[in-house]
Amino acid sequence: MNTLKTEILCTLGPASFNDQVIKRLDDLGVRLFRINLSHTKAQDLSAIIDNIQQYTDVPICLDTEGAQIRTGDFVDLRIELRENSIVRGHRRKVPGDPTGFNFYPNYIVDEFQIGDFISIDFNSVLVQVIGKDDDGAILRVINGGAVGRNKAVTVERDIAMDPLTQNDRACLAIGMEKGLSNYALSFASCREDVEEIRRLTSDDAFIISKIESLPGLTHLNDIADASNALLIDRGDLSRQVPLERIPEVQKAIIKTAKEMDRKVYVATNLLESMITLPTPTRAEVNDIYNTLLDGADGLVLAAETAIGAHPIACASMVVKMIRNFESPEKANPLDYPSDPISLLVDPHGGQLVQRHASSAERMQALMLPLLKVSETTLLDCEQITHGTYSPLSGFMNRETCQAVLETNCLLDGTVWPMPVLLAAPKDSIQGFGAGDKISLAGSDNTVYATLDVSEIFTMDLDQVARKWFGTSSKDHPGVARLFHDGDQFIAGDVALVERLPSPYRHYELTPAQSRFIFAHKGWSKVVGFHTRNPIHRGHEHIQLQALQDTGADGLYINPVIGPKKSGDFLPGPIMLSYQTMLEFGLFPKGKVILGSFATYSRYAGPREAVFTALCRKNMGCSYFIIGRDHTGVGDYYAPGANQAFMEELGDFGIQPVFFDAVGYDEFSARHGFTTDSSNMTPIDGTQVRDSLRDGTSIPDWMMRDIIQETLRAESAQNRPLFVE
């Protein structure tokens, strides 16, 4: 006779679909046998139910597929997706290989949007949607690895799906015909989902709603109210809730279930090691005990009994744990955080500023007074609102700008050396004043942001230029832009209404996205690299040297793709050069992420060196590479000016990594720094640029042959490399 108060639920599968195991599990006191419909076809279900019922009277529970996305039914058990490769998610059925595969359900590719991040097979692989066509979605593989058949998929954006698949509906009908009364709803997201499965079964059915997604957490009370029990699937839940948050979320769900007089079960990884080993780990035993202390009414063995080598031993261990268990304690207060606890460097100022207009605010923006602004201003708007310029929330007023120019700090003392100003012609801002809310539009009258005006002011441009750029000469491109834009400025907080159109959107990563990728890859220390040029061997050398010297987990290559001056490389060739490096495996595997930075050069020397470092700090980088002439122009800044300025500022939260000029020693056939040996022939960026412009070859040691060939092929197709 079963005297256990805590229930045990077991999933049946290949390891346990036999009379001996089923009977033994029955003897141990299992209360419910679960059939996973994600791995069961409707045409097979009736025979499976009959087979189980031959050996036991323990009730059977049909666990639906639910509103989930999975990989397709590959011909092979798994496929290998190579990092940085381009693959396709097909709508039409394909066998599945490293170049393309199906998602399930097939129609889901229609719901994908360009820019979506998709985690596959419990986050082992990360891809991003970079295009769509009639046959599905085009994906770039950000984090490579093996992808199994029929494995979990998570889109980092909620997609509305039917709560039940066609297979679910067919299986539920069979279950009712067989007299089953227990059903589990996977990925329950709202009350209506529960009502739908109850409509298809019966009012008396025992409905277990599985909490395994953020929508499920959001509507937990409504779901619990409509259900007979809750089941916490910690595996699927951890696809959206950071792993380190799972314990406290589990406690909160259990507390809610208890308050609403609903049973609650806990599943996933209870005895994961026993899938192959005969005994559990200490951590697993401790987890089970704490789960019981939390107040769980039941424990669910899934893979342990479905495919594991020791299904009976697993159930026996759980029985012993339950028998040894004492009364549970109360859980912690309800709290469902979704932000991960990160080991990455904190954003500058402590918090990532994100200012995106709501739907209502976007509609309101169309009715506001309009101010046309430059492309560079709109780029600043976008970066402010994404948090790249944290802690800034808008364009500076006079007092803040003066503090920055004179002290290199904001008014609260936070290090910040770069003025961020909105210049506007006097006649365009007549009638505006402090307290007004206006829209900021481009030359095509498209509204991209709103501005809450706090101040309109003028400044002496000659004085500003001298403090900002160290010169008032209009031969300096930064000074020339300052004087061109005029001495009228408007200050205030901004909110993003619409992102600027960009052919490089699939490479653009907001700070939140770059931090997400770094965390996904398990990186906590990242080196950032800023560039305006295609990769040559000099840059390659300092990138790899920085990885080695800092001991960082990875390198974030972050080229600038905004407006440039005549003679500069266009963004396309820059990104293509780095993508080629990645595709040909010329960087250390799994160590490099490429993401573009939609901004523009200020040519502000040391001030800009620190500014670009702080932007990368906000992106999650803890180190930043500073080359010989970083952000400089002409002879306006001394070679050691950047380092001297940073030393003057002290610690500002991201560590600069300084490098001298790189050269190549033909005698030893190695790259190094020109200061290391008199035999070093410098790698000259100007020579690289001239060779690509003239169509002449340079040695592989200066720029890899494959990069030269790729860029020359662009020229041959009449695709320009340079800004005219």
Q: How far is CA 574 from the centre of its chain?
A: 23
Strands (DSSP E) contained in 501-543 are: 526-531
Q: Which residues of 484-497 are buried (b: 16+ CB within 10 A; e: fewer)?
A: ebeebbbbbbbbbb
Cβ contacts of residue 121 below 8 Å, gap of 6+? 71, 145, 146, 147, 148, 151, 152, 153
| Secondary structure letter of residue 305 according to DSSP | H
Which amino acid makes up residue 278? P
- Segment holding 167, helix H or strand E: helix 166-177
Strands, sheet with 670-673, edge to edge from the N-terminal-most edge strand = 670-673, 662-665, 681-682
Which residues are tagged catalytic? 531-533
Q: How far apart (Å, rounded) are the C-alpha atoms in residues 53 and 41?
A: 18
User: What are the backbone dihedrals phi and psi of residue 89, each rounded to the nearest 5 degrees, phi first?
Assistant: -100, 105
Q: How far apart (Å, rounded) are the C-alpha atoms in residues 279 and 366?
A: 65
Strands (DSSP E) contained in 64-134 are: 69-71, 78-81, 86-90, 100-104, 117-120, 125-133
Q: How far apart (Å, rounded) are the C-alpha atoms in residues 575 and 502?
A: 13
| Secondary structure letter of residue 630 according to DSSP | T
Strand 145-148 relative to strand 100-104, pairing: unpaired
User: 228 is written with which tokens?
Assistant: 């007979």
Identify the residue whose tokens are 């002879």.
635
Helix, strand, coil share (%) of the chain residues, nearest 5: 35, 20, 45
